[in-house]
Structure 1
């Protein structure tokens, strides 16, 4: 998504320059991860549009009455993060890439389960925080050395292959230009 949005990629690069101004080539530290808020928001927005866990299955432990139907105890329901993340009640203009949706003041009051890239509640993915840290570390390392250019369109990314995780049918293609 940063390749498709060069202005936002440049904003992330400026943040990297601020954080790594003392030593451009040093490794990313946990303190750096905490400071890279713009990059973190870009990652969150990318996972909102393309959640790594496309759907989750849960067994209903007891009967649940909904406004339009009743779910019997023992039935299995599927929650599809891909569609939850595109609910305009929580994410206005849901197809637009806007990392600032995750600014604290814009996230305040948003339903806790409106953003579930790795599941939520007791059964959320145990490695979520580690995965987030790993994504920030990897991108902070790559983006300091390379400008990332698109090799596919946003529309082609929308054509998904669904298995345990969702991924674009065209794969993940990028062009990288040394900075």
Structure 2
């Protein structure tokens, strides 16, 4: 017989402390792009993970107030662009509240007609299959429809303790969290 466990609601967890503890987990840095034409936009996200190989599913999370949320929902597709270590300035450009546009950023369109950053280390172009509410975020699940490794560069950009850098680099000071 399996014991039953009752959980009391969690209270008293300090959001800043939670962010600090979660910042101890090293993640890759991605820019999620979506939309087309003048609606094409992107934002920096580190809340990405693969879900399943069969079918090929991945997910990422966006804050409910994210400027990209409506674009992804409307287009029904998105691209996960994995950034290389040398692309930290690009990551910060897409992390700002008012820098969602792809103007001046080399990109092309996937077969699903969503933008792909031309110099990304790798990309996954996905068809949106589901979205779930998760607290103050929305969890977007997509089926991979196209993928590629256009740059061939293997040095990833990582996020740790509030800052970005390369794997071999010692991490620098802290920066504000992305619009994820």
Bigger strand share: 2
> Does the alignment reach a TM-score above 0.5?
no
TM-score, length-normalised on structure 1?
0.21
Greater helix percent: which structure? 1
Name the TM-score, length of structure 2 as normaliser: 0.21
> Quick check: which has more Rg, 1 or 2?
1
